[in-house]
Structure 1
Amino acid sequence: MQKKAPMGPHKLLKICNGFFFGGLGLTAVIYLIGESYQWRGNDVSVFLWIAAGVGILIMAGSLLTAFSKLRCPYCGASLMAGGRVPTDLPHFCPDCGKDLDNCG
């Protein structure tokens, strides 16, 4: 049985960003649909509340994954320096200084 190679930080960041912005988009669309329901004088259905909650959970899950798994492949230091949500990785690790552009 082959052992899987660990996922590189660039690929993990793309996945986390995709889920984060997908959840944000879902929440925004659900919010606009809910506002149009209220503008017409209708009550917002439970389905919309659940869908908005799912969007928020997707966003939170992607952030938790990024905070726990997005690390330097050389020294293991977190690449979420100072609690920031990166849209791209730094060129060098903030801890050990090694090049992150050419790693997995």
Structure 2
Amino acid sequence: MKKLGCFQACRYSNRMVIAGTAVAVVSILLWGEGILPVLFGVLAAAGVAIIVAGCVIGNRFIVCPHCGGPLYDGPRLPTHIPQYCPNCGTKIEPPGGG
């Protein structure tokens, strides 16, 4: 299996956090209305699980391909990859040299 690159991990992480947030918020709003409370409770929990999975992917794989240092500052994950690694200063280019 091919290793997940930092650009691909950032894309996956962002999409999972956005989708999980949308599912959780809509489910919680509908859960509060009393419409099928068990179903929307389960969907809200699934949304939170997707958010957590997206954060785990981001923390694990959004790292410099050269030195392995994190490309994010503290607990906040980036929405994009910086041009240079904050740890080693190496230029970070997307696959294909683009």
What TM-score, normalized by structure 2, do the two folds share?
Answer: 0.85
Which of these residues, 71, 92, 100, is aligned with residue 63 of structure 2? 71
Which of these residues, 16, 19, 24, is aligned with residue 19 of structure 1? 16
Structure 1 residues without counterparts, runs of 5 or longer:
none
Alignment partner of 1:88: what SS?
coil
How many corresponding residue pairs?
95
> Which structure 1 residue ranges, 4+ long, deviate > 6 Å from structure 2?
none
Q: Percent of counterpart pairs with the same letter? A: 24
From the CA coordinates, give the structure whose radius of gyration is larger: 1
Q: CA deviation at 1:5?
A: 4.3
Supply the distance in 1 between the matched residues of 2:8 and 2:14 (Cα, whole angstroms). Answer: 10
Cα deviation code 1:26-48 (max 9, x no counterpart): 011112212333xxxx6x62111
Do the aligned residues in 2 keep the contact of 1:8 with 1:103 (CA within 8 Å)? Answer: no
Aligned to 1:54: 46
Supply the distance in 2 between the matched residues of 1:75 and 1:103 (Cα, whole angstroms). Answer: 16
RMSD: 1.7
Alignment partner of 1:81: what SS?
coil
Structure 2 residues without counterparts, runs of 5 or longer:
none
Which of these residues, 23, 28, 33, is aligned with residue 25 of structure 2? 28
Q: CA deviation at 1:8?
A: 2.2
